Structure 1
Amino acid sequence: MKHEKTDLYVAPLDGEWVKSSFSNGSGDDCVQLMKIDGGVALGDSKSPEREPLRYTPSELRAFIRAAKAGEFDPLID
């Protein structure tokens, strides 16, 4: 079943957050993801009051491919 992007923002956040193993031990780099109906939620565990961003599987795949290819490296100091 294909989901519309707006459907992702009504999907409940009732799964388990998966925290990046690259997050440092002091909790400063806390990127976390959760599988939701129709996609993935991306949150920041330091700011749980913020609404997580939500992405379709194809959006997340495109981002991961670009990150692995180093396309975003110039954005990092």
Structure 2
Amino acid sequence: MTALSQLTWITSSYSGGSGTECVECARIPAGALIRDSKWADGPIVRVGAEPWKAFVRSLWPGTPSA
């Protein structure tokens, strides 16, 4: 897997503006990684490609893939 420092982490546009509710994700070949942006060295949740695609499609109906 790619080293965590080499990943491009994207902050959710729905995260709270006060800086207290930030979620980030990074795409990997096998799916996505999700973490709390305030705790970058904390736990990371790995989601497989198919569940990640299903999650994204559920947010934006009509999206063919993610």
Task: Say yes or no: TM over 0.5.
Answer: yes
Q: Cα deviation per residue 1:9-31 (whole Å; 9 max; x = unaligned)?
A: xx232211100111122111111
Which among 8, 11, 29 is matched to residue 19 of structure 1?
11
Number of equivalenced pairs: 59
Q: Which has the higher contact order (CA 8 A, sep 6+)?
A: 1
Aligned to 1:45: 37
The CA RMSD over aligned residues, in Å, is: 2.0
CA distance in 2, matches of 1:28, 1:67: 22
How far 1:67 moved relative to its partner?
Answer: 5.3
Aligned to 2:49: 57
Gaps of 5+ in 2: 62-66
TM-score by length of 1: 0.61
Gaps of 5+ in 1: 1-10, 70-77
Q: Percent identity?
A: 32
CA distance in 1, matches of 2:48, 2:11: 19
3-state SS of the aligned residue for 2:39?
coil
Aligned to 1:35: 27
3-state SS of the aligned residue for 1:58?
helix
TM-score by length of 2: 0.68
- Which is richer in strand? 2
